[in-house]
Amino acid sequence: MRTNRGAWMLAGLVAGAAGLATSYAVAAVMAVRDSPVVAVAELVIRLAPGAAVERAIDSLGAADKPLLVGGILVLLAVAFAWAGLLARRRWWAASLVFGGLAAVGVAAVAIQDQPSAMSYLPIAAGLVTWLGVLSILATRLRALEDPQPGFGQGPPIDAAAGRRGFLFGVGSVVLVSAGLGVLGRFWGRSRRRVEESRSLLRIPRVTEPKVPGRARVGLAGVSSWQTSEEDFYLIHTAIALPTIEPEEWSLRIHGMVDRPVTLTYQDLLDRKRSEAWITLNCVSNVVGGDLIGNAWWSGVRLADLLEEAGVRPGADALLQTSDDGWTCGTPISAVTDGRDAMLALAMNGRPLPVEHGFPVRTIVPGLYGFVSATKWLVDIEVTTFDDFDAYWTTKGWSEQAPVRLASRIDVPRGGSDVEAGQVRVGGVAWQQHVGIAGVEVSVDGGAWQSVEIAAPPTDDTWVQWAGTVDLAPGDHVLRVRATSKDGEVQTGTERSVLPDGATGWHEVEVTAREA
């Protein structure tokens, strides 16, 4: 029996549409900026000569982008059908067509602002779907063309049943793709809706961050004392970020308390505001790494809420749970000892970005994020450490993890060339809630020499430092170490980040050149 070209083209089209639906849904769920097709449309706009674009916009008005996207979809449909035809005889040629289309998508994403590895995931998902679906449909079509591949005998294949099998395959793929498309739309919309609520939100008594002059050493290249939302590192296990409307949010505080409470977002808005500069860092930050940031946080003091709930004797831990199911355990002592532990509503004077835990997250100065800084917080159980294992604790990380004393060289950059002679060196040092008393640098393993440190308003933030070293022409190694206000001198013993934070001195190699 023979299949007609139409069936192969249909297989290609269906596989292509399924791939587009998958990549669209993945892009929406991951909140990637644009679906791959839109990214390609942007690429076209960017590559098109300015005059042509202007003329198009002039004659088409606001319809220019839908028309462009529509045009791309038509071209894609032609390519899909062609790939289907090719798949009949030369599977590799069909793969090449899909591979080529994916490559265009990759190029389009690559030229966007700051694409991350995740930005390419929708394209990868689409490509896998294209190849997978086409291969399934092609197998069915081939069975129709040659009922007994390689064998002469066997029960004859019923052609009608074979055709039904192919059409059933096509139908299922279409249904699943439509489902994915709807899911993508739904996710994309809820993210947009939350972004809108967030941008319209005005949180009473949140003030703008004002960086104290004394917090800066004024050396170019040293990390900015305040970290912007865009530059603030991101760590979370969630792939699809929770999209929580403030009016839908609530927090239950329960467990070993006299009066369990459920708080709404409005309850937090109505409460007394607490604001502070707090540096947050990740336990996974390697020596010299950048999983650390400093922001102006505004929210409600956690200690007040716990006092109202009435913590029962014997309780020593808060089991915090996020909307996405992530958990962490925080010592009650660290929250109630007077430090600025808070349920944060705003970061740097604006409502929390969705990525950083909108609408409410926890911030506890002095503890690594994985034991304190729950984003999209929805539940706090007052309990004991003996009674639970939190997300990372089950994977080998410590139950408790105060921040370790650390320091970093920001300038000069490792591997850079400097002019021999007096060379300015600078960076940051931190041990939140303990504070930094001093910083020293050493050249080529020589004597430690003190450098100047800035004077931030509290001990809950990192501290900028700067100094001058004398470098003769040649290669050199610069090292830094800090001393805490507790009198601890940062150890040079190198330990890995697991289970409770890295230790060791940060060093950079530079080459001093004759002026």
Ligand X SMILES: Nc1nc2c(c(=O)[nH]1)N[C@H]1C(S)=C(S)[C@@H](COP(=O)(O)O)O[C@H]1N2
The interface partner of residue 356, options being ligand X, Mo ion, none and the CB cut-off 5 to 8 Å by kind, is: ligand X
Distance CA 38, CA 82 (A): 22
The interface partner of residue 375, options being ligand X, Mo ion, none and the CB cut-off 5 to 8 Å by kind, is: ligand X
Question: Which of 102/282 has CB closer to ligand X?
Answer: 282
| E-strand stretches of 204-302 | 250-255, 261-264, 274-281, 292-301
Distance CA 238, CA 145 (A): 46
The interface region with Mo ion, picked from 7-15, 30-38, 223-231, 367-375 by CB under 5 A, is: 367-375
Is 347 a binding residue for Mo ion by CB under 5 A? The answer is no
DSSP 402: B
The interface partner of residue 130, options being ligand X, Mo ion, none and the CB cut-off 5 to 8 Å by kind, is: none
Is 502 a binding residue for Mo ion by CB under 5 A? The answer is no
Residues that bind ligand X (CB under 6 A): 232-238, 280, 282, 322, 324, 326, 356, 369-370, 373-376
What are the residues whose beta carbons fall under 8 Å from the beta carbon of 332, sequence distance 6 or more?
A: 306, 311, 315, 316, 317, 318, 382
- Beta carbon of residue 334, minimum distance to Mo ion (angstroms, whole number): 16
Question: Which of 248/307 has CB closer to ligand X?
Answer: 248
Residue with the closest Cβ to Mo ion?
Answer: 282
What are the residues whose beta carbons fall under 8 Å from the beta carbon of 262, sequence distance 6 or more?
A: 250, 251, 252, 253
Angle among Cα 210, 214, 216 to the nearest 5 degrees reads 85
State how far Cα 338 lies from the chain centre: 31
Question: Which of 370/462 has CB closer to Mo ion?
Answer: 370
Distance CA 432, CA 371 (A): 14
Q: What would the x/- binding string for Mo ion be over residues 273 to 292, using CB under 5 A?
A: ---------x----------
- Residue 499, preceding bond cis, omega within 30 degrees? yes
The interface partner of residue 229, options being ligand X, Mo ion, none and the CB cut-off 5 to 8 Å by kind, is: none
The interface partner of residue 11, options being ligand X, Mo ion, none and the CB cut-off 5 to 8 Å by kind, is: none
Distance CA 177, CA 194 (A): 26
Among 57, 235, 420, 437, binds Mo ion (CB under 5 A): 235
Question: Which of 197/322 has CB closer to ligand X?
Answer: 322
Helix %, strand %, coil % of the chain (to 5)? 40, 25, 35
Question: Which of 299/369 has CB closer to Mo ion?
Answer: 369
Q: Which tokens sit at 15?
A: 């596989």
- Beta carbon of residue 284, minimum distance to Mo ion (angstroms, whole number): 5
Question: Which of 237/496 has CB closer to ligand X?
Answer: 237
Question: Sign (positive/negative) of CA torsion 432, 436, 442, 447?
Answer: negative
The interface region with Mo ion, picked from 328-336, 354-362, 368-376, 466-474 by CB under 5 A, is: 368-376
Among 370, 397, 462, 505, binds Mo ion (CB under 5 A): 370
Question: Which of 246/369 has CB closer to Mo ion?
Answer: 369
Question: Which of 109/403 has CB closer to ligand X?
Answer: 403
Residue with the closest Cβ to ligand X?
Answer: 369
Question: Which of 375/408 has CB closer to ligand X?
Answer: 375
Residue 53 buriedness (CB in 10 A; 0-12 / 13-18 / 19+): middle
- Beta carbon of residue 353, minimum distance to ligand X (angstroms, whole number): 8
- Beta carbon of residue 374, minimum distance to ligand X (angstroms, whole number): 5
Could you tell me how many residues make up the chain?
Answer: 515
State how far Cα 76 lies from the chain centre: 31
The closest of 260, 275, 291 to 406, measured between CA atoms, is: 291
> Three-state SS for 1?
coil
394 CB-side CA count, 13 A: 8
Among 12, 122, 299, 369, binds Mo ion (CB under 5 A): 369
Question: Which of 145/324 has CB closer to Mo ion?
Answer: 324
- Beta carbon of residue 236, minimum distance to Mo ion (angstroms, whole number): 9
Residues that bind Mo ion (rule: CB under 5 A) add up to a total of: 4
The closest of 276, 290, 37, 12 to 136, measured between CA atoms, is: 12
The interface partner of residue 233, options being Mo ion, ligand X, none and the CB cut-off 5 to 8 Å by kind, is: ligand X
Instruction: Count the neighbouring beta carbons within 10 Å of the beta carbon of residue 475.
Output: 10
Q: Which tokens sit at 295?
A: 């922001």
Give the interface with Mo ion as residue ranges (CB under 5 A). 235, 282, 369-370
